Copies of this chain bind each other. A is one copy, B any other.
Amino acid sequence: MTEGTYDAYLRAHRDAHLEELKTFLRFPSVSTDSAHTGDVAACAEHLAELARKVGFEHVELWPTKGHPVVYGDWLHADGAPTVVVYGHYDVQPADPLDLWQTPPFDPQIRDGQLYARGASDDKGPTFMHLKAFEALLSTTGGLPVNVKLFLEGEEEIGSAHLTECLETHLDQLRGDLLVISDTTMLGPDQPSICYGLRGLAALQVDVQGANRDLHSGLYGGAAPNAVHALVELLATLHDSEGRVTVPGFYDDVDVLTTEEAAAYRDLHFDEAELMAEIGVTELVGEPEHPAIERLWTRPTLEINGIYGGFQGEGTKTVIPAEAHAKITCRLVPHQTGRGIQQLLAQHLETHAPKGVQVSVQLADAGEPYVTPFDHPAIQLAADAYTHAYGKRAVFTRMGGSIPVVETFERMLHVPVVLMGFGLNTENFHAPNEHFALDNFDKGMRTLCYYWMHLPEALSGEPV
């Protein structure tokens, strides 16, 4: 077949595909919120049905102790490589709702962008894989590779039950390669392939002062204030220039090689453009590292949320009895999620201010990942972008975490190719998440090209 064949199919079915994608996006599959457990389950069933309609076989939901995995396969390309395609159908919470221009689960297209929670992360790219396979199947009656779909429902909560699920289904998931589209491109005109991701270590810290909220007039001056204590405690986590001050936090961090540092300089990362995009006049973080290194190769510790005491309109003269903070760290080789959680918990507990109880709840943990990018499957991916975008992909690292990458690599021992189609500016994890339809179109052409040429790339045979 020629490139023109699938391309014509994708053009002819574009409107229908967008309507199907909108339907997929309408499920509020927020994995972290138990109020949405039913929505996550319904979304999984819907996704399974989408896969069946494409032509996948053995489509089923693999239950976990949390949300299910959608599995399906097409295994009729005798002698060709077998690829596992990973995506996730769960999404981040949508709050604060009042900052969305249109409701998060009512997808709408404006100015060439599809707005909805999950449009970019990761329902859009997951859907593109299905439709790229559909284009090949519909126009040729088959696929050039054997495919196993593994579509997860717990990515946004640290893939809590992934390891267990992989252990259970390890034999069914054997293959030559894992392809994931859950990363971003360097810019709208600069495709890129990520070869390194940061890990994650999450926890919550809870401070308990008095046995109830107290009147600040009657008790103020003697009673412990849980918010004061939390503030005092959290202030010990960074120095004034933005370095993390938890003892041992940086001990296992790899020093950047001279080659990588040089490669990053060659990307001419524009700090002023970043500041303009996010609306600030200064960036923060370890001053001895340029921003691009801080974003891709340095660990971080972020307070993701804080709450305690009165939050209503006006004044309430209360001494709060409780205060809470949510913290996540982004990790780099060779930090470990559990190790960093332990360091943090120990630091927080030993620095408990006077008069209060401090307790720490450990949450998600995922390991950092860096892979050699000279593998032919990864090099071919860069060429596939050239075909659709007219520009070859560059190789980058990324600040985000996809715990599944490290887990899959460790358990399946296959190379992982991160082909992303989202953009940093698309507000995933924030209000008004959107996805550029230009990348929806070009991305599916990139994928079709990739699957068509993968057998020859992996065989080492000429075309």
**A224 CA to B424 CA, complexed, in Å:** 16
User: Of A47-55, A128-136, A323-331, which stretch is located at the interface?
Assistant: A323-331
CB within 8 Å for A311 and B307 given contacts A210-B278, A428-B215: yes
Interface of A is mostly: loop
Which residues of the other chain, B, contact A198 by a CB distance below 8 angstroms?
Answer: 217
Bound Cα distance from A1 to B315, whole angstroms: 46
Are A280 and B209 in contact (CB-based, < 8 A)? yes
Nearest to A328 among chain B residues (CB) is B317
A33 touches B313 (CB 8 A): yes
Contacts of A95 in B (CB 8 A): 310, 312
A238 at the interface (CB under 8 A from B): yes
Name A399's contact: one of B217, B309, B312 (CB within 8 Å): B217
B328/A399 in contact, CB under 8 A: no
Instruction: Supply 25 A–B pairs (Cβ within 8 Å), ascending by A.
Output: A32-B314, A92-B316, A93-B312, A99-B212, A209-B280, A211-B279, A212-B431, A218-B424, A220-B399, A221-B285, A221-B300, A222-B284, A222-B285, A223-B283, A223-B284, A224-B280, A231-B306, A282-B354, A284-B354, A284-B355, A305-B308, A305-B320, A306-B307, A311-B326, A317-B401
A residues apposed to B, CB below 8 Å: 32-34, 92-93, 95-96, 99, 157-158, 184, 198, 200, 202, 209-225, 227-228, 230-232, 234-235, 238, 240, 242, 271, 274, 278-286, 291, 294-295, 298, 300, 302-320, 323-326, 328, 330, 354-356, 363-364, 398-401, 424, 427-432
